[in-house]
A and B are shown apart, each in its own frame.
Chain A
Amino acid sequence: MKSVIQLKDISKSYSTDENETQVLSHVTLNIHEGEFVCIMGPSGCGKTTLLNIAGLLDVPSNGNVLFQGEEVSKASSKRRAELRRSNIGFVFQSFNLIDDLTVFENIELPLVYQHVSPNERKFRVDKIMDRLQLSHKKNAFPTHISGGLQQRVAVARAVVSQPKLILADEPTGNLDSERGREVMEMLTNLNELGTTILMVTHSTAASDYASRVIHLFDGQIVTENLNKGK
């Protein structure tokens, strides 16, 4: 199976005037096409940092990152932006929707940056809104809809450009169990349709949806289990 993203011996540290904090230490991880990988671990173990590096939002202090075989740890911010816009979708715990854009406009945004024509954008956004039952909130602003709906919008925005990889950071963290389940089912459906998913979570219920679960502790991978049911 082809690798979507490969992290080779990566480390990440943050320095201040007084001390240096090692967040990730010699992590090596290979995510293959079609996988649903879940990263778990206690707060501060480096889960989100790992996700950000895998999503090309951040760069490692040491080590290599290969995205579909291309070395990107030293790539320009412009190149990384190009790769993100055409290959990666994000779902965040805090939804990270833009308050000043409507539901439709938020979902449309990745297509805008991909310079998709307005007609095509409308077609694709309408289609995804239909699928995720968001059409009735098309013109609402994020602050006027519930947390569950906001996360659904975030998922819609993540998948509208049909990315190869979806990165989800605590996607159910701010939701009740019912809404959390809905989101996880959406991600599972996407995975079944071929999208690779890398998810960070605290929730064991959410991790049950993944095909592989990786445990991180103090910036290092300590265990890696295949979820046999998947």
Chain B
Amino acid sequence: MLRNYIIIGIRNLAKHGLYSLVNIVGMSMGIAFFALLFLIVKYELSFDNNHVDSERTYRIVEVIDSQDIGERSASVPIALGPTINDLYPNYVESTVRFFNHQVYSHMIFANGQQYNEPSLYFTDKDFFKIFDFPLVRGKKSNALADPQSVVITTEIAQKYFGEEDPLGKKILYDNQFYLTVTGVVDKSKVPTHLDFELLVSFSTLLITNKNIMKGDLWQWNPCWTYVLLKDDVKPEELEADFDILLQDETKFPEYLRDYVQLYLQPIEEIHLYSDLDYEMSHNGDYMYIYIFSAIALLVLIIAAINFMNLSAVRYSTRVREVGIRKAIGADQFEIIIQFLVEASILSVLSMFGALVFMELLFPYIYQILGDNTIKINQIDTRTLTLLIGGSGLFVGALSSFYPMYYLSGFKPIDGLQVTRMLGVKQKKFRKWSVIIQFVIAMFLLFSTYVARKQLNLLKDADLGFNIKNIVVVPLGEVRYSLEQYNNIKKAFLSVDGVEAVSGMDEVLGVLVQTFPYEFLKENITLPSSFYSGLIIRNDFFDVFNFDLLAGEYIQNNNQCDHGEVLINESMVKYLGYKTPEEVIGKAFYNRAGEHIVKGVLKDFHYESVHKEIEPFIIVKNDTRLWKSFNVKYMVLRLDNIRNWELIEGQLSMKWSQHIPYTLMDSFLLKDKVEASYQKEERLAKVSLIFSIIGVIIANLGLFGLASFITVQKNKEIAIRKALGMENFEAMLFISKEFFFLVGSACFIAWPLSYLAMKLWLENFPQQITIDIYAYLFSGGVTLCLTFVTVSYHVIKAGIKNPVADLKSSN
């Protein structure tokens, strides 16, 4: 019997070639693109949950909150890890720190080549005890045990040594000391927020930089620190006991003690739920997991509806066949099995089609999404089979259910009287399903428009200072003296196209630090607060333009015995002043002494525009007063960024003249600022791709339906024509049903889309207003495509000679 079902199924597919093709292509696209988003979501959800003890692993985070401002830091003081190990042996099995001197990159000399490596970290010997990255060379037990050991990733091994065995090879760190490769780790299949490429044993620091464990061990918080709790220890238990440490006078300094809290953050939640200051890498966002899952589901629903409608259309031409089968003796179950077999054939073909789509299109789509983390050939067969097979069969069976139930349920006599083809109920069902399809397609178009516009707002947002033509050259912490800095600056200024050069301690617009200051107001010292701030060289305002509301910029070569700062408007409000002018001349205090407010700047986005603007302080790096040179980045303003490649070459030449055996790093500030909109960029791209796919699938279905409906209406049109209807009127008559359906979809899709996008926009401090073009775009594109899709059948039916249809019996 199965053979009979398969034969008739295949013959039916071949007989209705167009329907079958449209059905298979639509379904294949639906499954393929569902799979694409599913894989992205699965990948995002798998971050850091592959380690054996990931459920017991936490990151320690430090929250400094004084007077409602401060920092929520992903990194903690360097001494915290070992201290926790010693203080809480009943709770803690092990701790591991990651430390990178808080510099942009590290200089490595390997195999005769110079490299600047941004992802190098010093880490504790227990790294492999907590994190299960597969070590392809070396031994986990001792890879990071000895000083001057380094574990590298397979990518770095390939880059430095090609096919040679890297184990035992030596590389030179920062022209200071050699590191021996003791292990090669393959992290390509372990999604993680840990951004390392090279791991140097922490003990290296202790012998190469003897001052590292001296000085401000509890104020500076440069170490990402992870703790492995013992079995059955709850994180709350350790958190509750942190009070002992926080109140210990030998640990956190007095001015910090009352404001610091330590928390444990589950490692599995970091990638999707963490948005702290100083994150190790750009994290994902759980909200986008929901959005992507919803989009994936919506596309699959469109495909399922498509499949169902086209199947219903095909089945409805087979009412007579079902009647005959029933008359001969088939029961309802056998008819259901027959149609299930046929739906399965279509589903299986669609699954193969989906694989073809995945193989052909995905490399391009991943390229568009800027995501090279998921490769089709890397997905394990089980996942792929479950994903494609599961979604294909599920949708196939589900979408065949209604027509199967409808066809198998009627009395055989109804089937034999072929004039009773489609019931009113089925027509209504078909209409609603088309409306739902177009509601989803329009929703995707609407959200594409809004997401793109919001992204443009973010990208074009006035940050409050100029980022165009600005280039940043990382210097590395305390690597160079002020004298070297001044020499390089002079050399850079001699390059044609460089208009101004200055320095700063972090990258303005991307990341800033916090600094504790007290403020003297009307002879009363306000409690110390931890303000976000930036340390700058005195010529900083030659590079950047801000809106100065009161006072003046910090002057070049201004010799004075006190420090100078600028503040923003929010600081004025925070300090309780009504006008900016009132603050000028007032003083902040810290351990370096008095800092006079020279000017007030209009609020500007010192970090990503996602973040609310808080009180901010710009501090002049006065080496005469500070006895230290805190500038980690040089910042250059060019006359025109178009000449960048040429200028970069000349700057590199100047750099190597002054600092031989090193490579100059550089980046455009605009690129770094835009990198913080990665998530929105990705959403805009995903919704664009998926709205196109959704619209294509929906229109494929409409094309099939149009063909069916026009055939059904042939006789009616023939009669109307016989009574005097003209060809053009006939076309209008046929097409009005389709436009009615799409028009109805508009009125459902628009309010739903508006509400959903309004909700999404609430995540941004700066929001676009949803304008009329969002409605026009989603409705217009859908209506135009509907017109193009149905016009072929409409015109064909409109100009058809009615004679043949008048003769036909049904």
Contact = CB atoms under 8 A, between A and B. Distances in A.
A210 B262 CA distance: 101
B329 interface: yes
Nearest to A114: B329
Contact of A55 (B324, B327, B330): B327
Interface string A110-138: 10111100000000000000000000000
Contact of B329 (A82, A92, A99, A101): A82
Contacts of B412: 57
Interface stretch (B1-9, B175-183, B486-494): B1-9
B413 A57 contact: yes
A70 B69 CA distance: 89
Given A52-B413, A115-B1, A81 B326 contact: yes
A105 B331 contact: no
A61 interface: no
Contacts of B11: 100-101
Contact of A112 (B1, B12, B321, B413): B1
Contacts of B7: 101, 105
A110 B328 contact: yes
Contacts of A181: none
A69 B7 CA distance: 39
A90 B325 CA distance: 11
Interface in B773-807: none
Most interface-central of B8, B324, B325, B326 (chain A CB within 10 A): B324
Contacts of B320: 96
Contacts of A99: 321
B591 interface: no
A222 interface: no
Contacts of B326: 57, 81
Nearest to B5: A112
Nearest to B10: A100
Interface in A45-81: 52, 55, 57-58, 77-78, 81
Given A52-B413, A57-B411, A115-B1, A96 B327 contact: yes
Interface residues of A, number: 28
Contacts of B324: 96-98
B15 interface: yes
A84 interface: yes
Interface in B323-356: 323-334
Contact of A100 (B12, B331, B334): B12
A82 B8 contact: no
Given A78-B331, A81-B329, A112 B8 contact: no
A100 B327 contact: no
Given A98-B321, A98-B324, A101-B8, A113 B330 contact: yes
Contacts of A109: 4, 325, 328
Category for how many chain B residues contact A: 20 to 34
B768 interface: no
Contacts of A108: 4
B374 interface: no
B416 interface: yes
Contact of B328 (A58, A90, A100): A90
Contacts of A98: 8, 321, 324-325
B8 A100 contact: yes
B327 A57 contact: yes
Contacts of A164: none
A86 interface: yes
A152 interface: no
A85 interface: yes
A212 interface: no
A84 B327 contact: yes
Nearest to B416: A96
Interface in B343-372: none
Nearest to A100: B11
B331 A77 contact: yes
Contact of B15 (A86, A100, A105, A115): A100
A58 B411 contact: yes
A218 B320 CA distance: 28
B8 A84 contact: no
Contacts of A110: 328-329
Contacts of A57: 326-327, 411-413, 416
A195 B326 CA distance: 22
Interface string B303-337: 00000000000000000110111111111111000
Contact of B416 (A77, A81, A92, A115): A92
Nearest to A115: B1
Given A82-B331, A92-B416, 4 more contacts: A85-B329, A96-B324, A101-B8, A105-B4
Interface of B: 1, 4, 7-8, 11-12, 15, 320-321, 323-334, 411-413, 416
20 contacts: A57-B412, A77-B331, A77-B332, A82-B329, A84-B328, A84-B329, A85-B328, A85-B329, A90-B328, A96-B320, A100-B8, A101-B4, A101-B8, A101-B11, A105-B4, A112-B4, A113-B330, A114-B329, A115-B1, A157-B328
Nearest 4 interchain pairs by C-beta: A85-B329, A81-B331, A113-B329, A100-B11
